[in-house]
Amino acid sequence: MKSFTNKEIAALEHLYKINLINSATGFKSANLVGSISNSGIENVSVFSSVVHFGSAPPLLGMVFRPTTVARNTYDNIKENQYYSLNHIHQDMMKEAHHTSAKYPFEVNEFDKTALEQEYKPDSKVPFVKGAPVQLLMKYANEYTIKENGTILLLGEIEKLYVQPQLIHNDGFIDLSKGNVVTINGLDGYVKTELIERLPYQRPKK
Amino acid sequence: MKSFTNKEIAALEHLYKINLINSATGFKSANLVGSISNSGIENVSVFSSVVHFGSAPPLLGMVFRPTTVARNTYDNIKENQYYSLNHIHQDMMKEAHHTSAKYPFEVNEFDKTALEQEYKPDSKVPFVKGAPVQLLMKYANEYTIKENGTILLLGEIEKLYVQPQLIHNDGFIDLSKGNVVTINGLDGYVKTELIERLPYQRPKK
């Protein structure tokens, strides 16, 4: 095995380091976050840090890095409390990745990509049309990570939309069947195939 | 689209609800966490909540639910500060999934599965032999999520081991090439194929 100590990691060239460490968690979720400022400027931005924190209430977290373009999303969420999560279909991955470009606040990424906004009857935030899974989220809380200034933002699922053919009888959503991608590192887009669902495990005698 | 409001989610049958909400983030990382108590009892347990929090220092988070078997892992980490993360290869997924069985503290999951422990010369925690990526982690901090009592535990990478053929020239680790799986929901094990790495994006004029 090739190895890297923490001192060696700290001394790596910047791009090498961020590629390496961003690949080191394993695969990541691929979401487009839709938001809108109170002044009406829409934003859509790719995130790979959405993680499950609980099912009752249904609570999801995402990580914001203080100095990135993603702060437009953060500011919008703080302003109006609501945002959308949209799973990235393989056919939209190039457009989704383009939202990582550092546009100023006043630019609407929907105008710079082929991604299309969609407004549901009962919400005021933009969703991404065609996403196989869409979630309307409401801001719940945030925790500032003192080690590096990142922010863990928690939101509660207000409403969940799923393509009906993806849902198994027991509530499982088959993301591979929906052609949802996963992310490897900073820039690797990955297609998937469900091997199998494994049964609930009980201790062996 | 099939839809579920937050009230409808709260009223769902328990298993349906946890399957649905655990699938709603998108794909999840698949790791085996290796740990050991000060009394010498090893533990290995599957986690799907490891997420990147920063590259300098290299900081990864994972989520502990207060009432699950995973607390053996938490207790071990609190006792000796170190633990290992091991990416799950497709060939070990059934054994990995079995570690979700609720064994009492005194049972060593390495004895109940075909997973083999591996000790590196410079560390006292068990790694999982054959994992394509292995990380020696040191406890950094924890944040209790007041909304539901879960714990976000942060650790710093002390040492990273990677199969050399997986590393690109710029530090990217090709997890698909290493047959690392990703997890869908609570029990779906998924194989992957890298579609492509997309270039760094700059704003369009």
Average pLDDT, chain B: 96
Q: How many contacts does A have with B, using Cβ atoms within 8 A?
A: 376
Residues of A in contact with B163 (CB under 8 A): 1-2
On the 0-12 / 13-18 / 19+ scale of CB atoms within 10 A, B177 is middle
Tens-place pLDDT, residues B79-98? 999 999 999 999 999 999 99
Q: Check A148 against B59: CB less than 8 A apart.
A: yes
Shortest CA distance from B151: residue in chain A: A53
Alpha helices in chain A (DSSP H): 6-10, 14-23, 71-80, 93-98, 109-112
Tell me the per-residue pLDDT of B101-114, one tens digit each, with 9 for 90 and over. 999 999 999 999 99
Model confidence band, residue A123 (pLDDT cutoffs 50, 70, 90):
confident
Q: Do B192 and A12 touch (CB under 8 A)?
A: no
Which among A25, A97, A107 has the least Cβ separation from residue B51? A25
Q: Which fold does the domain B27-190 belong to in CATH?
A: Pnp Oxidase; Chain A (2.30.110)
Chain A nearest-CA residue for B152: A53
Flag whether pLDDT at A5 surpasses 80: yes
Q: Which of B58, B152, B175 sits opposite A9 (nearest CB)?
A: B58
Q: Looking at this protein, which amino acid is placed at residue B59?
A: L
Structure ipTM: 0.96
Query: Which candidate, B43, B44, B62, places its Cα nearest to that of B142?
Result: B62
Residue located via tokens 């550092």: A102
Residues of B in contact with A29 (CB under 8 A): 25-28
pLDDT in tens, B161-180: 999 999 999 999 999 999 99
pLDDT of residue B145: 96
Helix extents (H) in chain B? 6-10, 14-23, 71-80, 93-98, 109-112
- Could you say which residues from 6 to 35 on chain B have a Cβ atom under 8 Å away from some Cβ of chain A? 6, 9-10, 12, 15-31
Residue A93: both structure tokens together: 């991955």
Question: Which pLDDT tens digit goes with each residue over A32-69?
Answer: 999 999 999 999 999 999 999 999 999 999 999 875 54
Q: Which CATH number does A26-190 carry? A: 2.30.110.10
> Would you state the pLDDT for residue A128?
98
Specify whether the CB–CB gap between A173 and A166 falls below 8 A. yes
- Tell me the C-alpha distance between A82 and B186, whole Å: 27
A86 close to B (CB below 8 A): no
Residue A22: which of B2, B6, B55 has the nearest Cβ?
Answer: B55
Please report the pLDDT score of residue B67 as a whole number.
59
Report the pLDDT value the prediction gives residue B93, as an integer from 0 to 100.
Answer: 98
pLDDT of residue A65: 83
Give yes or no for residue B69 having a pLDDT over 60. Answer: no
Residues A168, B187: Cα–Cα separation, whole Å: 13
What's the confidence (pLDDT) of residue B7?
Answer: 98
Find the mean pLDDT for residues B44-56.
97
CB contact under 8 A, B160 and A24: yes
Question: Quick check: B9 and A10 in contact, CB under 8 A?
Answer: no
Give the residue extent of every domain in chain B. Answer: 27-190
| CB contact at 8 A, B186 and B18 | yes
pLDDT at A68: 55
Encoded tokens for A156: 């509660």
Question: What average pLDDT does chain A have?
Answer: 96
Q: Which residues contact B68 (CB under 8 A, 6 or more apart)?
A: B102
Chain A residue with CA closest to B10: the answer is: A56
Q: Yes or no: say if A97 and A187 are a contact pair by the CB < 8 Å rule.
A: yes
Put simply, whether A87 touches B (Cβ < 8 Å) is: yes
pLDDT of residue A71: 83
Q: Do A101 and B55 touch (CB under 8 A)?
A: no
* Cβ neighbours of residue B34 closer than 8 Å, sequence gap 6 or more: B42, B43, B44, B83, B84, B85, B86, B117, B125, B126, B127, B128
Express each pLDDT in B176-197 by its tens digit: 999 999 999 999 999 999 999 9
Grouping H, G, I as helix, E, B as strand and the rest as coil, residue A198 is: coil
Is B18 within 8 Å of A94 when comparing Cβ atoms? Answer: no
Taking CB atoms and an 8 Å cutoff, what residues of chain A touch B152?
A: 61, 143, 152
List pLDDT tens digits, range A125-171.
Answer: 999 999 999 999 999 999 999 999 999 999 999 999 999 999 999 99
Q: How far apart are CA A76 and CA A87, in angstroms?
A: 20
Contact B198 A97 (CB under 8 A): yes
Contact flag B6-A156 (C-beta cutoff 8 Å): yes
Residue with tokens 């497709």: B90
Q: pLDDT exceeding 90 applies to what percent of chain B?
A: 94
- B75 or A65, higher pLDDT: B75
A183 strand-pairing partners: A28, A189
Query: pLDDT-derived band of residue B71, with 50, 70 and 90 as boundaries?
Result: confident
Residues 62-81 of B with CB under 8 A from A: 63, 65
Chain A segment 44-63 residues within 8 A of B by beta carbon are: 48-61, 63
B128-163 burial string, b = 16+ CB within 10 Å, else e? Answer: beebbbbbbbbbbeebebeebebbbbbbbbbbbbbb
Q: Chain B: residue nearest A103 by CA?
A: B203
Among A25, A27, A63, A59, CA closest to A45: A63
Cα Dmax for chain B: 62
Q: What is the pLDDT of residues B111-147, one digit of tens each?
A: 999 999 999 998 899 999 999 999 999 999 999 999 9
Q: Residue B180's closest CA among B133, B146, B136, B138?
A: B133
- For residue A30, the SS3 value is coil
Q: Where are the beta strands (DSSP E) in chain A?
A: 2-5, 31-36, 42-47, 51-55, 58-64, 82-87, 117-118, 127-128, 133-144, 151-162, 182-184, 188-197
The span from the CA of B38 to the CA of B2, in Å, is 50
- Nearest-Cα distance to chain A for B77, in Å, is 18
B136 forms beta bridges with B84, B159
Interface test with A, best of B7, B8, B16, B25 (most A CBs within 10 A): B25
Eight-state DSSP code of residue B173: B
Query: Please, are residues A4 and A20 in contact by the beta-carbon 8 Å criterion?
Result: yes
Whole-number pLDDT of residue B70: 54
